[in-house]
Structure 1
Amino acid sequence: MSDLPFAARAGQLVGSVIDSSTSLLAKQSHDIVRFAMGSPAAEAIPWETLREVGEEALGAHDAFDYAATEGDPALRAALLEALAGTTDETTDERLTITAGGMQGLDLAMKLFVDPGDLVTIESPTYTNGSATALSYQADLLEVPGDEHGMSVDALREQVDRAGRRPKLIYTIPTFQNPSGTTLSVERRRELLDLARDWGSVVLDDDPYGMLRFAGDGLPSLHELADGDPLVFSVRTFSKIIAPGLRVGWVDHDPSLSELLIHAKQAMDTCTNLPAQRLVAGFLRHGHLDTHLTTQREEYRRRKEAMQDALAEHFGGRARWTDPEGGFFLWVTFEDSVDTEALFEPALAEGVAYIPGNAFSPGRRFPHALRLCFASTPPARIREGVARLARAVDRV
């Protein structure tokens, strides 16, 4: 392998600890409570409704053909209607359908990031987002946050110290992965103002915004930007309908449409057409609102069950976030608990999570971990946290 003529970027392909956990867990033969993968619960996926929709949506002779690169007209129309009146309302010329949110991130990096460009990321952040930036040979700058999301003051200070402006600012503003925190309205406005001053693209990655189960809704960066071409918004149906569909969309300045089509045609020609037709039918028949209402209430129950269990087993030994939506709790232990060293004992006890260092290229969170509450019922959550406590006591 070492003698092969690799491209320089090959050394920047770091992979995903999160995605790799799926393969790791599949190899285990004992019972495991799975807090690792950030996905909806199997019972939360509306498979019966999708099956019913599919009989109509996939009945046409062209349902298994190639699709238009920018997205099938049926899905584009249904999506525009579904977004009307929401904080992500948009227009046809701003819309491109993608193969999930990850393709949206990749398209943004492909369009805007050259080797050596400075890209700022939240710390901690979604591992696949930072890995995508690295695959385009970006220089990453980690910006800390607090309960109100990424610190814009810290962003400004760190960029000043770096002595150069970022080409791109990557943020997950709502129910952030992995922390669960939400960027305040004040910071959203400050971030957009700063990006305009710098001429930096804001990559607005918001997979969880529709999953608010507490608190008051906030305007999205897309809405606050009011058409500013510097804001590139990535969305997905993976968290709100089903991850296996691999269907998402990006909202962008209309001047980017042709470039995005060219970039996507060099990747996959078009997003899976049968999946697009399924999603279009699901939206067109009005199933999304009912489904989201059910899931929001269920995810609230599961978050509270996890927080109660953490309080029972780790009160005084750890602290955790209190998200108002989304999938995740971010748990930080006292310094004596190394969550990477804890991983194998925890797996042996029958519980899986993602260690904190996976969410930081600089490995800044050795005593933290991410727990996904969305995928597990309350009783099972309590069992999983009890198993985690036994593993911590062992270590």
Structure 2
Amino acid sequence: MRPTRTAPVAARADQLVGSVIDSSTSLLAAQTHDVVRFAMGAPAAEVVPTELFREIASQIYTPDSFTYGATEGEPVLVHALLDYLAQTSEATSEERIVITSGGMQGLDLACKIYVDPGDVVIVESPTYTNGSATALSYGAELLEAPIDENGLIVEALPELVAAIGRTPKAIYTIPNFQNPSGTTLSLARRKALLELAHAWNAVIIDDDPYGLLRFTGEDIPGFRSLSPNDPLLFSVRTFSKILAPGLRVGWVDVDPSVRQLVINAKQAMDTCTNVPNQHIVAEFICRGGLDEHLAGLRNEYRTRKEAMLESIQRHLGGRVSTTDPDGGFFLWLTLRGDDARISTTALFETALAEGVAFIPGPALSPGGRFDDALRLCFASTTPERIEEGIIRLRRSLDLMREKV
């Protein structure tokens, strides 16, 4: 009889921590009862232009649509994207752009190129832990830095860095309507972060999936506007939040000196981004519908955010505090008073049984912090369902209070 053996995995396997966020998709699919889904950060299904995508596909698909494409992206999409961005504050050039398989591939490419085992990477706390997990997978040592209502507390970074005695190799930030908090990095802090990055020779991994989804307030200049042609900026963008995540199409904007490295690294991953979906996105942009589509999203998401805040006030009142974002997808809810003794990790199971799902705070911190907090996505749920979901959340809290 052959002896039992285990495969000799790489040392990095211990750092492949997975994603509670992504795992919730499978968990929710397995539920047989009605669940209000505040967990996944996905666009509302009803605002995805499905019929238009189907029409575009029927008109543009040819046998050539299903072959390999250029690693840097299909020319038709690159040019459509450049033309669109030329009308925004993120105007750029072809020698800076590489089309990616969603924003997550952009983060993976950044970490693959810049992060060596043992390098310090600063991450916001809380943060999008799929991003921090990517840095971990390349052996990074994560340094969690606090946030407040104005985003990453940049003025705290020098002391945090001094305490560990090493400067960071990279700084991972979500500057607009941050995931999970919904906060936006202020202009003063953006300038200060650029100064620190230059002093430390650290790359800013600028992850901005939500920047085009501001529904109130004034736009704040981005890092590239504040520091043009800066080789220490690696900007990650995606169509997942503004069109549909299933397309798996995004892009990175990098210094031209780095672009070939990005192409080389991507060729070792997937050769090219999904060619048919690139053509769908390109045609959608070329038809001139993106601005109107974004305007509709902003109106809808503002309505849903306001509905969620009003429902929270009605049903939870002083039991919680929340952020009030100017755009994006998320509210960050923190338990107060006696409810603060409740673990949101434990609350998740009760809430799921009661028919509402969210992401517990510890899932959004590499160190497992924020067990008194949770993330709610308002974007994917109608106001009527939001009301029902918050009622179920209150009921879940009431049940948990009986146990603590």
Q: Given the two structures, how large is their TM-score scaled by the length of structure 1?
A: 0.98
Q: Which residue of 1 aligns with 2:49?
A: 46
Answering whether residue 182 of structure 2 is matched by residue 180 of structure 1, we say yes
One-letter identity of the residue aligned with 1:32: V
Q: Deviations over 1:136-180 (max 9, x none)?
A: 010000000100000001112101111111000000000000000
Q: Secondary structure at the match of 1:159?
A: helix
Asked if 1:155 corresponds to 2:160, the answer is: no
Give the letter for the 1:371 counterpart. L
Which of residues 5, 10, 25 is equivalent to 1:7?
10
Aligned to 1:36: 39
Aligned equivalent of 2:27: 24
Q: Counterpart of 1:308 in 2: which secondary structure?
A: helix
1:91 aligns with 2:93: yes
Structure 1: which 4+ aligned runs deviate by more than 4 Å? none
Tell me the CA shift for residue 220 of structure 1.
1.3
For 1:294-351, what per-residue CA distance to the aligned partner results, in whole angstroms no more than 9, with x for missing partners?
A: 0100000000000001111111111000000000000000222210110111001100
CA separation in 2, counterparts of 1:133 and 1:64? 33
User: Which residue of structure 2 aligns with residue 353 of structure 1?
Assistant: 358
Per mean C-alpha deviation after superposition, the further-off stretch among 93-102 and 150-159 is 150-159
- Equivalent residue number for residue 246 of structure 1: 248
Tell me the SS of whatever aligns to 2:63.
Answer: coil
What is the alpha-carbon distance in structure 2 between the residues aligned to residue 29 and residue 237 of structure 1? Answer: 31
Q: Partner residue of 2:121?
A: 119
1:363 Cα deviation (Å)? Answer: 1.2
- 1:26-59 CA deviation, whole Å, 9 max, x = no partner? 110000000000000110111111122222332x
CA contact under 8 A between 1:101 and 1:247: conserved in structure 2? yes
Displacement of 1:2 in angstroms is 7.5
Say whether the 8 Å CA contact 1:101–1:207 is kept in structure 2.
yes
Whole-angstrom CA distance in 1 between matches of 2:155 and 2:191: 13
Equivalent AA in structure 2 for residue 274 of structure 1: P
Contact 1:97 1:249 (8 Å CA) reproduced: yes
Instruction: Measure the CA separation in 1 of the matches of 2:162 and 2:155.
Output: 11
Aligned to 2:109: 107
Q: Of 344, 359, 362, which residue of structure 1 is paired with 2:367?
A: 362
Distance 1:136 1:310, change over 3 A: same
Question: Could you tell me the percent identity over the aligned residues?
Answer: 63
Which position in structure 2 is the counterpart of 1:194?
196
CA distance in 2, matches of 1:179, 1:346: 21
CA distance in 2, matches of 1:320, 1:340: 18
Residue 171 (structure 2) aligns with: 169
1:150 and 1:327 map into 2 onto residues whose CA distance is: 18
| Equivalence for 1:217 | 219
SS at match of 2:297: helix
More displaced, 49-58 or 266-275? Answer: 49-58
1:270 aligns with 2:275: no
Q: Which moved more, 1:1-10 or 1:110-119?
A: 1-10
* Rounded Cα–Cα distance in structure 1 between residues aligned with 2:205 and 2:347: 34
Aligned residue for 1:132?
134
Deviations 1:117-136 (A, max 9, x none): 00000000001001001100
Alignment length, in residue pairs? 394
1:74-89 equivalences in 2 (<5 Å) = 74-89=76-91
Amino acid at match of 1:36: A
- Mapped partners of 1:357, 1:94: distance in 2: 36
**Structure 1: tracts of 5 or more residues without a match:** none
**Offset of residue 65 of structure 1:** 1.0
- Give secondary structure in 2 for the equivalent of 1:316: helix
SS of 1:63's equivalent in the other structure is helix
Check conservation: 1:54, 1:281, Cα contact below 8 A.
Answer: no
1:241 is aligned with what amino acid? L
Q: Which runs of 5+ in 2 are unaligned?
A: none
Show the counterpart of 1:376.
381
Q: Over the residues paired in the alignment, what is the CA RMSD in angstroms?
A: 0.9
